[in-house]
Amino acid sequence: MFEIKYFTVNPLQENSYVLINDKKDCIIIDPGYYYQNERDEFLQFIRDNSLNVARLLNTHCHFDHIFSNQLVAKTFNVGLEIHQKDQVVLDRASQSGLMYNIPFEPSPMPASYLEEGDKVVLGEDELEVILTPGHSPGSISFYCAKQGFVIAGDVLFKQSIGRSDFPGGNLEVLTSSIREKLYKLPDETVVYPGHGPSTTIGFEKKHNPFVPEDPSTRFA
């Protein structure tokens, strides 16, 4: 069973996740640690808990989610895994950071690509890859059916949704991803987003003004 630890970090207050199994193996998702104290806290957490970092995943490759890809890859000798359609986002991430006056060490290139339906297996636990584009062309969510949670990146937030005005974003595609992919999950599924507090699928169906379960009540 996964233990979920997250750190809210960097100038954009991004949620970086560590998923830990019973054998102290772990998966790092969207390591956005930017400041040195954030990096130190993360590394100390890994050391203090004697964790073995087994996988490095990105839900998508906007710069605030990949600041520490290089740190994790180098320190723990793991390869980066993303969806291929987000390669173009990764390729221009460093340039985007400079545009916002937030320089950072470039991410390594992916060691492999994840596809919809793939299973990310860690011991007896697994995450299913769900392709949820719209915020970026290759945004993916990681769903754990056994424990009833989904790591959704910047697709779905509590009573909000991800931006779709970045290059490669598309509002119609984003809302379709939420409605046709995430809203198909059980209502009790906990949503761990890339920013802000957690929520549930059932809550968002009823209370999300941008993607309500009944499209006729959509926020204007």
pLDDT given at position 220: 43
pLDDT given at position 50: 98
| Residue among 120, 137, 5 at smallest CA distance from 60 | 137
126-148 per-position pLDDT tens digit: 999 999 999 999 999 999 999 99
pTM of the predicted structure, to 2 decimals: 0.96
pLDDT given at position 217: 57
The position carrying tokens 């640690």 is: 33
pLDDT given at position 213: 79
- Show the domains of the chain with their CATH numbers: 3-217 (3.60.15.10)
Q: Report residues of the chain scoring pLDDT below 70.
A: 214-220
